Structure 1
Amino acid sequence: MFNKAGMALFAALFAGVAGPVFAADFVEPPVIEHAPPPAVYEQPVEYGGWYIRGDIDYHWSKFRGADYITYGDPPGTGRFDSGKLESAFSAGAGVGYQINQHFRTDLTADWMSKSEFRGSTSGICLDGDPCTSVDTSSYTALLLLANAYVDIGTWHGITPYVGAGIGGAWVKWDTLHNSTEDGEFSHSGGKGWRFAYAAMAGASYCLTDRVKLDVGYRYSHINGGKMFDFASNVGPGYDKGIDTHEVRGGLRYQFGKSDCAQPEPIAYEPGPIYTK
């Protein structure tokens, strides 16, 4: 009996000592939760500010016709049977303001170099027979425009846009040389200010954080005005206006905040490590 009681006591003591030991072996280690990776945010860019621009172009001019007064017998009016203007170059500059990412305005001045003119007219020569003349001249113009543009959006540094402008042009015609069977005659060229407007489309490309390459097309219309003065019982003459189609290229320099500049990232430091 004593042996049974002793064995029971020994078993109880062993269980009391070994239980905590084995229980300690199965305690789970603490779980360490790492902080998430640092979040990086980009500062929003506020677009806007002044810019300057310089442009060159190659343009084709279309002569829309001309009328003139005749003082023969009987007096009346005449018109050019044909007229053609040669292509030419122009150069310009301007100053503008980028209002926001999608809207800007500028003032531009373009000097249109000499475009040669060749035309013909029909009339009655001194002998009373019909005759045809050959007329040559040229014109230059200073085109001043106030423009507004919509920048549609920017993809890979390229920003397509559309725009329109309104203003005036100072047009100067050179001496008109008139050659007929009766001889050669000259008419002083007309000059003066005229109303003008334009429409354009193109795209710009970021070369640096402030410089953009601007390439596009512009259509401009110059209203009619005096083409030449009176001489040899003919004149004055008035052209019906000039249309030009321009292929343009230039550079824009942005003084304010440009959409070409990359936003500055803001990095947040990781938070503390939490444990359970």
Structure 2
Amino acid sequence: MGRCKPLALARILTLAASVGVPGLAHAADLLPPPPPPLPPPPVDVGGGWYLRGDVGVGILDLRKTVVEDVSTPPIPYNYSAIQDHVGDQVFVGVGVGYQFNPWLRFDLTGEYRTKAEWRFVAEDLSYGTRGGYNLTAGKFSSVVALANGYVELGNWYGVTPFIGAGVGFAHHMFGSVTDQGLGTYSGGFGYGGSKDKTNFAWAAHAGLGYAVTPNVKLELAYRYLNMGEAETGVVGCLPSCALKTVYRAKDLESHDIKLGMRWLLGGPVVAPVAAYEPPPPPLVRKY
């Protein structure tokens, strides 16, 4: 009789499970509750928009100065250049841009560049004589506007190298120009009025960025900037003469070193992350 009691108890439990004894068959269906839904992401008011400011210095160079006689009738000007020099500019700029993703951004920038000194010395060979020189000098300032694109090349210990390119225009404002006679021309003097000229401009960028905070970044960059040409007003003799001349500083190039800061208006742009999906519940068999 003692051996039959355990067998009978096992049969009773099996039968109870098959007919649905309360608290036994349904116990296997009890699962942990699903995780609560994720909170909605914070609203990003500014998106990838940013503001920027820059200051720097531009080391200028020019291919050559071209001298054109504009007298009526024209009087050919044959000369030999001795000195063809342009000084440097300091600039300050502002801009607005958009960071599309962690590696691509674009911006529009505008800047004012201070007056650069221009100096041109040439010997006049027009009359088959030697020893007559003209020292022509003036100053020009510039306004440059560019549309730029940049590719950011990863992040290395908080530093982000980048390269970029830009196109736009340069507007040069040449101030009053003087022409002084030297050598056998000593005592001669000429004067030219102001002249503005707008040209196509283009740039190439390379630099390093550093995130001071998630929304503020510093930049140290080099920029090659081609600003086209600047042109003087018509230079004539004083008190008066028939000679009238225009000087064109061709292919003005600037090697810029600049320090910039960017303020991101929205949250920092990060790579998209897949939304969390809870794992499917385990398969439970009912007996």
Give TM-score, length-normalised by structure 2: 0.69
- Stretches of 4+ moved more than 6 A in 1? none
Point out where structure 1 has 5 or more consecutive residues left out of the alignment: 1-45, 269-276
Matched residue pairs, number? 220
Residue from 230, 245, 248 that aligns with 1:238: 248
Is the 8 Å Cα contact of residues 69 and 78 (structure 1) preserved in structure 2? no
Partner secondary structure for residue 155 of structure 2? coil
Q: Cα 1:205–1:139, aligned 2, differ >3 Å: closer, same or farther? A: same
Letter in 1 for 2:62: F
Superposed displacement of residue 229, structure 1? 1.5
Bigger shift: residues 91-100 or 154-163 = 154-163
Structure 1 counterpart of 2:115: 114
Q: Cα 1:260–1:208, aligned 2, differ >3 Å: closer, same or farther? A: farther
Letter in 2 for 1:158: V
Partner secondary structure for residue 213 of structure 2? coil
1:82-231 matched pairs, under 5 angstroms: 82-123=83-124, 130-180=131-181, 181-231=186-236
Letter in 2 for 1:75: I
Percent identity at matched positions?
27
Give TM-score, length-normalised by structure 1: 0.71
Structure 2 counterpart of 1:14: none
Does residue 50 (structure 1) correspond to residue 49 (structure 2)? The answer is yes
* Mapped partners of 2:57, 2:74: distance in 1: 44
Does residue 257 (structure 1) correspond to residue 267 (structure 2)? The answer is yes
Letter in 2 for 1:203: L
* Mapped partners of 2:118, 2:160: distance in 1: 38
Larger proportion of strand: 1
Letter in 2 for 1:243: E
Larger radius of gyration: 1
Structure 2 counterpart of 1:76: 76
Structure 2 counterpart of 1:15: none
Deviation string 1:111-148 (CA, Å, 9 cap, x unpaired) is: 11111122212215999654112121111000000000
Superposed displacement of residue 82, structure 1? 2.3
* Mapped partners of 2:201, 2:78: distance in 1: 26
Is the 8 Å Cα contact of residues 60 and 88 (structure 2) preserved in structure 1? yes
